[in-house]
A and B are shown apart, each in its own frame.
Chain A
Amino acid sequence: MSRSEIKICGVTRPVDARLAEALGADILGMVFCESPRRVNRGMAQEISDSVENVAMAGVFRGTAAMEIAETALACGLDYVQLHEPVTEQYLSELRACSAARIIVAVEPQQLGDEAYLRMLAASGIDSLLLDLPKGCPPGTTLTLKDIDSATASGVPLRIAGGLNAYSAVALLQLSRAIGVDVASGVELSPGIKHPAMLSEFITAVRNAGAGRLPSPGADGRIGPFGGAYVPETLVPALEELSQAFSHFSNDGDFRAELATLLREFAGRRTPLYHAARLSEMQGRPVLLKREDLVHTGAHKLNNCIGQALLARRMGCTQLIAETGAGQHGVAVATTAAMMGMGCRVYMGSEDIRRQGPNLRRMELLGAEVRPVDSGSRTLKDATSEAIRDWVANCNTAHYLIGSAVGPHPYPTMVRDFQAVIGNESLQQCRELTGDLPGTVVASVGGGSNAIGMFAPFIAQRSVRLLGAEAGGHGNASGQHAAALGLGRPGVLHGSLSYLLQDGNGQVEPVHSISAGLDYPGVGPEHSFLHSIGRVEYMSVTDREALEAFHLLCRTEGIIPALESSHALALALRTEGSGPLLVCLSGRGDKDIEHVLATQRSMQEGDHEAA
């Protein structure tokens, strides 16, 4: 990634201009058309005079060329930025009367107009600015497709559209845009730049590493998603956790202790198994990342060890957790036992019915399991109950979330602790095949194994990334858990993300054969990756997952978890070339009773239908 240009737009005060200049912004924008950030010539001159080493831009809409030229001259504008569809004649008039370089703002819907883009490319303008239209619903972002078609015009492109520290870095990493333009993303109120946000934004863009997924800024926003929608009581606990996480994730002792436990206690690194018989069936190498071989039988332990080490350093003596399938609960109970900490696990009574063996494992490990009888009696309600416990005990207890959901910093923290899956896979895939995978597939409930697996591949745009959502009885049935496919952005359990909800904003009941995917929401980073179009999320039905479950048992001698069976089913129905890498997130021993019972009832249903 070459050095990206940073344009800070909507500057209304010299003090903000000087700060942006000092922090290393390249261009400052001032708005001369109708806007809460509008300035007049006098203000603009004052702002312009207050800085030296930064270019100035003026934003116009529907202004006569001559007037723009006069303003540009009077206010020392190096750029003029035009915010309406322009004609060739208008551009040539403007070029005739002003030496300022021209930026033309375009919106995604205009990108289909090839003639317009050709005209702009031929007219000698300096650059394009791709922005979102005003008044987009919450959760709207530019897509990579939009950005690609704008850069395909050959005109240098800057991107805007409600960027923040996270989305600016992510979209620059994934595209050929030359720079970013931000206004509201560094403000608390319109036109007043917030020093800490400005500094955070510029620092994030300047320090962005080429392949590393960005972390959100202090507001916890992953593009428009994420954040921390929590009771005031939890705000200090989350701030403390954020600080501890950013401190210890770069601490040598912490990392060494984590690495040792992952190796010697959890049994990493896990194999990347070349599934020979499946490969033959698929006509391409099928590589299974064997997270089912992690101690306790699923990837969940990676995150538990990381968070528990963090909690211990923060002085917490008690772990609180929610669990769906019970895999996370077992992993937390295991970690708590190993580290001598107390442990309370909330589990929906419906899930207890489906996943009895895991309940008994948790109890053997010394955890207190509290059944949850409210709502749908599944993961969603267990999570709510765990959060309520945490609100009351945040002085001494750490809430150990098992998925890439929840308020900031949880989604990022869980991603980083699970990224070991993807990092190992990337290296192992190269060792085995000498190449990157062609396709990577993982199942998505909240999405912890998927985000961990995808993390190092996201910047590799040649790698196709697929997330398998729980399609339950099918998308049309209303009985599924496909939050990304069929939900819309909303707030549940502390963050803004795609959510299955009714027209009144009530969270809808969901269904999946897999207790681990039976959740109406999804991690906010998945919402972002879905929204920009980097990862494709598709539904896999209960029936397809069961077929994949049996197939793997019989062809490779591996009993997969029902969660992982969803990923496998999606992988096997996907055409493509290059190695097919599938995250086998857990083992299926816990599911055997449930699989047999479900099949009996499906067969009875088929009989009746016949």
Chain B
Amino acid sequence: MKQLEEFMVQRSRQRKLLVAYVTAGFPDEQRFLELLPLLEASGADAIELGLPFSDPLADGPVIQRASAAAIDSGMTSARALELASRLQGKLAIPLVAMGYVNPLLSYGVQRFLADAAAAGISGLILPDLPLDGDRVTELAIARSPLARIQLVAPSSSAARISRLARTSEGFIYLVSRLGVTGGQITANGSLPGIIEDIRANSTLPLLTGFGISDARSASAAAAHCDGVIIGSALIERLESDNPLQAAAEFIAGIRRALDHSAQDSGVALEESRT
């Protein structure tokens, strides 16, 4: 079992999980380094560290903007790993890298996996590498200490859902709706069936992401699974005048909502139906 899995399984027995997405080096390197411990203190259970790419196909306008700003200020995969290693010892929660295939290939897959592990990164999300999309790369990740987190989409077939659930490591990332990151979550009648299919094939924590923008959508989503992933809405707070405080307050608010709804999941279920 990879390290990430141990942590996430353990933590999900205690509370609903909250994963916070941040773009490496955003809003700037100094504040980024201060931000991550603050997110932990505010209630995040893991950090998804976005490695900027010039053409992020799976991301909506907010994360595109943050990526472009980070690249403009000199952010690279190598620099992001350096920032991660400077945070070692300052974070008790895991760091999971989220990046696109091209910078990974450019860095060298084997070398990236080794350097990322050395920088304290314990998982990897590759939104443009579907299962069976590149067997050489996938085999290298499988043999590395990094957990490969699979995304399950509302459009995934039953056969694919079961394979995704069985091959995912660390946790399972449920994409809440068709579309890119950001925007609003929409009612999706097929999700309960998908969640059932995933649960039948895996005991890993199941987290929902894409379109979780506030306390209400977070508790509604978490009522059906083990937690949520928040990206665009957090990045928007980081674009404000007082980014660190705004981000910390936002995450703390989501944390309270998740803890509250877990105590009274009946209410959350009710809300999610309306």
B177 to chain A, nearest CB (A): 8
Closest-by-CB residue of B relative to A490 is B102
Q: Are B160 and A235 in contact (CB under 8 A)?
A: yes
Pair A490/B157 contact, Cβ less than 8 Å = no
Q: Is A4 an interface residue (CB 8 A)?
A: no
B83 contacts the other chain (CB 8 A) = no
A491 touches B101 (CB 8 A): yes
Contact residues in B for A375 (Cβ distance below 8 Å) = 54-55, 68
Q: A370 to B107: give the CA distance in the assembly, Å.
A: 35
Given A188-B132, A235-B130, A505–B55 Cβ distance below 8 Å?
A: no
CA distance A236 to B57 in the complex (A): 17
From A224-232, A347-355, A469-477, give the one contacting chain B. Answer: A224-232
Q: How far is the CA of A499 from the CA of B102 in the complex (A)?
A: 10
Asked if A380 lies at the interface with its beta carbon under 8 angstroms from chain B, I say yes
Q: Could you tell me if A231 and B153 are in contact, using CB atoms closer than 8 angstroms?
A: yes
A395 to B186, CA, bound (A): 15
Interface size grouping (class) on chain B = 35 or more
Partner-contacting stretch, out of B71-79, B229-237, B263-271: B71-79
Q: Does B104 contact A (CB under 8 A)?
A: yes
A236 to B71, CA, bound (A): 32
Contacts of A395 in B (CB 8 A): 155, 178
Stretch at the interface among A292-300, A383-391, A418-426, A540-548: A383-391
Taken residue by residue from 371 to 395, chain A's Cβ proximity to chain B (1 for < 8 Å, 0 otherwise) reads as 0001100001100100110011111
Inter-chain CA distance A395–B54, complex, in Å, is 27
B241 at the binding interface (Cβ < 8 Å)? no
Interchain CB contact under 8 A, B55 and A384: yes
Which residue of chain B has its CB nearest to the CB of A238?
Answer: B130
A391 B139 Cβ-Cβ under 8 A = no
**B142-179 vs A: 1/0 string, CB under 8 Å?**
00000000111111110010001000000000010011
B89 at the interface (CB under 8 A from A): no
A75 to chain B, nearest CB (A): 28
> A605: shortest Cβ distance to chain B, in Å?
29
Interface residues of B in 91-146 (CB under 8 A from A): 100-107, 127-136, 139
Inter-subunit contact B179/A228 (CB<8 Å): no
Instruction: Verify B127–A231 contact, CB threshold 8 A.
Output: yes
Dominant secondary structure of chain B at its interface with chain A: loop
Interface membership of A95, Cβ < 8 A: no
Contacts of A490 in B (CB 8 A): 102, 105-106
Interface readout for A175-207 with B: 1 if CB under 8 Å, 0 if not?
000000000000111100000000000000000
Judge if B219 is at the interface, Cβ distance under 8 Å.
Answer: no
Residue of A nearest to B183 (CB): A392
Whether the Cβ atoms of A505 and B60 lie closer than 8 Å is: no
Contact A388/B132 with A233-B153, A374-B64, A505-B102 known, Cβ cut-off 8 Å: no
Contacts of B77 in A (CB 8 A): 504-505
By a CB distance below 8 angstroms, the chain A residues around B55 are 375, 380-381, 384, 492-493, 507
A236 and B156 within 8 A (CB): yes
Interface status of A174 (Cβ within 8 A of chain B): no
Which residue of A219, A391, A506 contacts B103 across the interface (Cβ within 8 Å)?
A506
**Total residue contacts A-B, CB cutoff 8 A:** 129
Is residue A237 contacting chain B, with contact meaning CB distance below 8 A? yes
Given known A-B contacts A231-B128, A505-B77, A391 and B102 have beta carbons under 8 A apart: no
Most buried by B among A189, A374, A393, A504: A504
A381 to B135, CA, bound (A): 28
Docked Cα-Cα span, A503 to B127, in Å, equals: 21
Contact flag A392-B180 (CB < 8 Å), given A231-B130, A380-B55, A504-B77:
yes
B12-43 contacts to A (CB < 8 Å): none
**In contact, B57 and A232 (Cβ under 8 angstroms):** no
Within 8 A of B (CB), among A380-432: 380-381, 384, 387-388, 391-395
The yes or no answer to A267 lying at the interface (CB within 8 A) is no
Q: Which of A235, A501, A505 has the most CB of B within 10 A?
A: A505
Interface size of A in residues (CB-CB distance below 8 Å) = 43
Contacts of A234 in B (CB 8 A): 155
* Chain B, residue nearest A395 (CB): B178
Instruction: Chain B residues near A233: list those with CB within 8 A.
Output: 153-156, 175, 178-179
Write the nearest CB–CB distance from A25 to chain B, whole angstroms. 21
In the bound complex, what is the Cα–Cα distance between A236 and B103 (angstroms)? 26
Q: Collect the chain A residues with CB atoms within 8 Å of residue B57's CB.
A: 230-231, 384, 387-388, 391, 493-494
* Given known A219-B132, A391-B180, contact A507–B54 (CB-CB < 8 A): yes
Q: Select one of B76, B102, B129 contacting A507, CB under 8 A.
A: B102
A138 at the interface (CB under 8 A from B): yes
Q: When chains A and B are docked, how far (Å) is the Cα of A187 from the Cα of B155? A: 27
Docked complex Cα distance between A235 and B131 (Å): 9
* Contact flag A506-B155 (CB < 8 Å), given A229-B133, A490-B102: no
CB distance from A310 to the nearest CB of B (A): 19
Chain A residues lying within 8 Å of B134, measured Cβ to Cβ, are: 227, 229, 496
Q: Report the Cα distance A504→B151, complex, angstroms.
A: 25
A88 to B89, CA, bound (A): 62
- B107 touching A232 by the CB < 8 A rule? no
Contacts of B187 in A (CB 8 A): none
Is A232 in contact with B153, judged by CB distance below 8 angstroms? yes
B132 touches A504 (CB 8 A): no
> How many Å lie between the Cα of A487 and that of B136 in the bound state?
22
Closest residue of chain A to B58 (Cβ to Cβ) is A231
A552 to B105, CA, bound (A): 43
Cα separation A392 to B127 with both chains bound (whole Å): 15
For the complex, give the distance between the alpha carbons of A187 and B139 in Å.
11
Which residues of B are found within 8 Å of A380, using beta-carbon distances? Answer: 55
Contact with A along B48-87 (1 / 0, CB 8 A): 0000011101101100100010010000111000000000
- Give the chain A neighbours of B68 by CB distance below 8 A: 374-375
Of A232, A234, A237, A388, most B-chain CB atoms within 10 Å? A232
- Residue of B with least CB distance to A508: B54
Nearest first, the 10 A-B pairs at minimum CB distance are: A505-B106, A505-B103, A392-B179, A233-B153, A504-B76, A506-B54, A232-B153, A491-B102, A507-B54, A491-B101
Instruction: Give B residues with C-beta under 8 Å from A.
Output: 53-55, 57-58, 60-61, 64, 68, 71, 76-78, 100-107, 127-136, 139, 150-157, 160, 164, 175, 178-180
Q: List 27 A-B contacts (CB under 8 A).
A: A189-B135, A227-B134, A229-B101, A230-B57, A231-B127, A231-B130, A231-B151, A232-B156, A232-B164, A233-B153, A233-B154, A233-B175, A235-B153, A235-B155, A374-B61, A375-B68, A380-B55, A391-B178, A391-B180, A392-B180, A490-B106, A491-B101, A493-B57, A504-B76, A505-B103, A505-B105, A506-B76
Contacts A234-B155, A375-B54 aside, 13 further interface pairs with beta carbons under 8 A come to A227-B133, A232-B155, A232-B156, A236-B157, A236-B160, A380-B55, A391-B178, A491-B101, A496-B134, A501-B106, A504-B76, A505-B102, A507-B55
